[in-house]
Amino acid sequence: MVLPIHVYGHDALRQETEPVEENTDDLQSLIDDMIETMRNAAGIGLAAPQVGRTERLFVVDLTPMADEMAEAEEPLPPQPM
């Protein structure tokens, strides 16, 4: 489910967050919804407070940068011992 995203200045972004202790079915559902929301917004990252939640949680999609990171890495020269 795509969730509404709160933008800079929204009160929800000032709420104190709570640590996540374990991955429950409800938490996994939130993670799935956040990933869907992030992709729908063409983003690469989204924090729980941005969707009005207080869990200390964020999702990141590094897929768009994977090819660039692989191309940027130079192979290491052999290191004789």
Cβ–Cβ < 8 Å for 61, 44:
yes
pLDDT band at 74 (very low <50, low <70, confident <90, very high): low
Give dist(CA 40, CA 61) in Å, integer.
12
Residue 50 to residue 64: CA distance in whole angstroms:
21
Distance of CA 63 to the CA centre of its chain: 12
**pTM of the full structure:** 0.77
Taking only the tens place, the pLDDT of each residue in 47-66 is: 999 999 999 999 999 886 66
- Which pLDDT belongs to residue 55? 97
Write the pLDDT tens digit of every residue in 7-54.
999 999 999 999 999 999 999 999 999 999 999 999 999 999 999 999
Domains of the chain by start residue, with CATH? 11-72 (3.90.45.10)
Do 49 and 7 meet the contact criterion of CB atoms below 8 Å apart? no
